[in-house]
Amino acid sequence: MNFLSGKYVLVEDGRFSFRGLWRFYRSRFLRVAPLYYFYCFMFELLSGSRFLLNGGWITVKILTFTFNGNGGIDGIGHLWYLSTAMQIYLLAPFAFLLVRRFRSPGACLTAFFACLLLGLGARYSLYTAGADWYTWIYTFSLANLDFVLCGLLLARISQMLYTARAGGVFTKIFSSLAAFFLIGYNCYIYYYGGSVNFFLYQIVLPSIYILCCSLLIIAWLPRRDSVPVYGGIWGCVNGFAKYSYAFYILHISVLLYVADLITKLSLVSGHAVVNYFVYFGISFALTLGLAVMMTNVGRGRRTRGRGGSIS
């Protein structure tokens, strides 16, 4: 939407704008890198693992956003996602230049489903060719391009179609239930691991997530003059979104800490489902609190750097 709104102008007077491209890259780097490097420093300082100090080539990959998760350890291995995201940011402006050529809702919708099917086909082809799922499908940025293209097309579709109100009541209920059951199934997979269909999880579920999230966005996000109007349930989602980056950075370390604390204090009950909700409830609250603190501190520093007030 930042491309569509004109925040990052990539074409001026019919010519490609390197200034707009630089503004986008600079913005993404300054949004991601400071907290990322701060977390790496604090992990190295507090964990006592000396992982980054002795990591050699893996450390270089972590610090240059080329890490794919292989060779990582708990507490820092999840940073592969930030590397994938930064690589996707490099491609996003050029993907937008392709998407902007679709000028009607019908053409955008056709391209959306084409990208959806191509992404599913690409994952299946890599799977049948014997490619390592984690390295070449899950964490490989080019294997996730369907998310980027479908996301850009979704933004284009929502800009074209929704000018005054969101979807109807049935669409809102259906999209919400679909998201609820999809996330619930994902939790089931994480909890019961060995008894699930991993082909479905690894190859098919990414495309289902694209469909489900797209429907949720179109159903719930009203627009006036192509500007999002937040409120109600979507207001809660948008409120959390401000802290989601810091939340992701911190969540693994908090999960490990809470698991260790619950074990030491013998707080485990005899019911597995109760343990599950208590464990993740405590972890979510603690992670969100820390994420809010870190995000607000970072925002305050950026504001001071521009000469404004912290508030």
pLDDT tens profile 227-261: 555 566 667 777 888 899 999 999 999 988 888 88
Of the candidates 41, 28, 63, the residue with the CA atom closest to the CA atom of residue 245:
28
Name the stretches of the chain with pLDDT < 70. 162-167, 193-196, 222-234, 266-272, 298-311
**Stated pTM of the model:** 0.83
pLDDT reported for residue 270: 64
pLDDT reported for residue 66: 95
Q: How far apart are CA 153 and CA 151, in angstroms?
A: 5
Q: How far apart are CA 305 and CA 221, in angstroms?
A: 33
pLDDT reported for residue 311: 28
pLDDT reported for residue 26: 95
Q: 273: Cβ–Cβ under 8 A, 6 or more apart, which residues?
A: none
Q: How far apart are CA 152 and CA 96, in angstroms?
A: 7
pLDDT reported for residue 230: 56
